[in-house]
Amino acid sequence: MSYSRDISQPIFDRALNVLVKGVSSNFRFLGEKETPVIVKGKGAHVWDADDNAFIDYRLGWGPIILGHADDRVNHAVAEHLENGTTFAATSELEVIVAEKLVKMIPGMEKLRFTNTGTEATMHALRTARGYTNKEKFIKFEGQYHGAHDYVLFSTASSPISAMGARTSPIPVQVGSGIPDKIRDYVFCLPFNDFDAIEQCVKDHHGEVAAVLVEPCLGNIAGIEPKDGFLDHLRSLCSDHNIVLIFDEVKTGFRLSNGGARDTYGVIPDISTYAKSLGNGLPVAAFGGKAQIMDVIGGGSVTHAGTFGANGVSMAAANAVIDILNETPVLKELANRGLKLKNGLDQILTDADLPHQMCGHPNIQGFLITEKEVHEVRDLAHSDDVLYEEIMNNMYDRGIWVESDPREPWFLCEAHTDDIIDKTLNIFQESVKAAVK
């Protein structure tokens, strides 16, 4: 990297003394001399401690849908702080936000708030188990659903070589510390494989409580479902008394106001939300059919959390929801996202690089490979080293995209046309420098 770290490095050295690996989430560690120290974000930009500015397409891994430190959200939160935040009771604002969500999300009947996506998927899974009185669940290889034990199998970080044959996939534990027995509760299947899921559901009829799926692969370059795949999941779940859970932690309030269930036209039983709902403030939710959600409470299924629906998170969510409802943010974002996608595609084509463009314009990616990509196993053929080199060139030129092609490019309202044009110019230079 060509940036000065005169100020950042001493701060990170202090971080290494007191924070494990100097970070508060494993995935943030990029090396002892490489991990950025950020002091400020505004709109589509972030600044590091040495005052180097970057156009940001990581956006905190997705939550920033309007732009960093959005004035409208900041104002709403600051104003609400005067009222206090946590009361171990229902607040009126919580009811207002829930009512707006029920109106905004097709098929949403009842919900509960949590603080993180991890909590939302954990509680959704428990609710499905409580409702069906079954214990196992199906997830898809390459999908990340948070950091609780049940879902840390065959995620985006797992080596593809450890996943076994497509016809008999092996659930791969992500790291140590996860009880081996939990493997018995999960089936990990290739995404977009109609036959694999059908076979699994039939073979294990009566055992499977839930199918937990990211409707598009928010942790694998945004790969989209094949036509009919989500409908296929829907009908299999209905036929076999299985709860269909859409993990919309990345897609919710990003693809469209109603989320992926609206964009793809398939209504699951439960969905989970986080990230964009608070534009960077910690707020999450899970909810869906009242008949299923009503098993929570009253001594049956446990859902709890001291900070659930706290005033700060509700004020942020309320502001985000109003902005999305009152202005066509996500539609305009999709137009600019498409311009970016088409531009990247053209530059890669002109450079004679075989590639696959992936994802919805608002959460997109590309892979350097000739082979079509429909699931994580297809990444075995992609040139991740070249991708990383291009992204390092981008970073050296002031544009911050994850250097791993699995993490998509996120767009926000503050990515203006000018910023997209600048990004494309720099991308062209960065590709040229990498393939020279």
Span near ligand PLP by CB under 6 A; candidates 7-15, 41-49, 243-251, 378-386: 243-251
Sign of CA dihedral 70, 73, 77, 78: positive
- Our finding on whether 121 is near ligand PLP (CB under 6 A) is yes
User: Would residue 144 show up in a list of annotated catalytic residues for this protein?
Assistant: yes
Which strand (E) or helix (H) includes residue 300?
A: none
- Our finding on whether 247 is near ligand PLP (CB under 6 A) is yes
Asked if residue 132 lies in contact with residue 183, where contact means CB atoms within 8 angstroms, the answer is: no
Catalytic-labelled residue, pool 247, 269, 341, 395: 247
List the beta strands (DSSP E) in 354-426.
356-360, 363-367, 399-400, 409-410
Residues 255-294 that bind ligand PLP (CB under 6 A): 274
Total residues interacting with ligand PLP, rule: CB under 6 A: 15
Residues 134-153 that bind ligand PLP (CB under 6 A): 144-146
Smallest gap from Cβ 107 to ligand PLP, in A, equals 19
Catalytic-labelled residue, pool 144, 150, 264, 387: 144
Q: Pattern of binders to ligand PLP over 219-238, x per CB under 6 A?
A: x-------------------
Half-sphere exposure of 291 (CA within 13 A, CB side): 4
Label residues 242-252 b or e (16+ Cβ within 10 Å = b): bbbbbbbbbbb
Parallel/antiparallel/unpaired status of strands 284-288 and 270-273: antiparallel
Catalytic-labelled residue, pool 275, 341, 387, 395: 275
| Geometric angle at alpha carbon 225, from 222 and 226, rounded to 5° | 135
Span near ligand PLP by CB under 6 A; candidates 78-86, 112-120, 287-295, 332-340: 112-120
The correct pick among 218, 222, 280, 359 for binding ligand PLP (CB under 6 A) is 218
Smaller CB separation from ligand PLP, 59 or 420: 59
Span near ligand PLP by CB under 6 A; candidates 104-112, 158-166, 211-219, 388-396: 211-219
Smaller CB separation from ligand PLP, 46 or 274: 274
- Our finding on whether 118 is near ligand PLP (CB under 6 A) is yes
Distance CA 363, CA 401 (A): 12
User: Would residue 247 show up in a list of annotated catalytic residues for this protein?
Assistant: yes
Residues 318-347 that bind ligand PLP (CB under 6 A): none
Smallest gap from Cβ 391 to ligand PLP, in A, equals 19
Q: Can you say how many angstroms the Cα of residue 124 is from the centroid of all Cα atoms in its chain?
A: 16
Smaller CB separation from ligand PLP, 91 or 118: 118
- Our finding on whether 61 is near ligand PLP (CB under 6 A) is yes
User: Would residue 404 show up in a list of annotated catalytic residues for this protein?
Assistant: no
Distance CA 31, CA 12 (A): 10
The correct pick among 43, 67, 117, 130 for binding ligand PLP (CB under 6 A) is 117
DSSP calls for 72-91 = HHHHHHHHHHTT-S--SS--
The 3-class secondary structure across 176-238, one letter per residue, is CCCCHHHHHHEEEECCCCHHHHHHHHHHCCCCEEEEEECCCECCCCCECCCCCHHHHHHHHHH
Report residue 360 as tokens: 């919805």
Could you give the residue numbers annotated as active site? 144, 247, 275
Q: Can you give the binding site for ligand PLP, defined by CB under 6 A?
A: 61, 116-118, 121, 144-146, 214, 218-219, 247, 249-250, 274
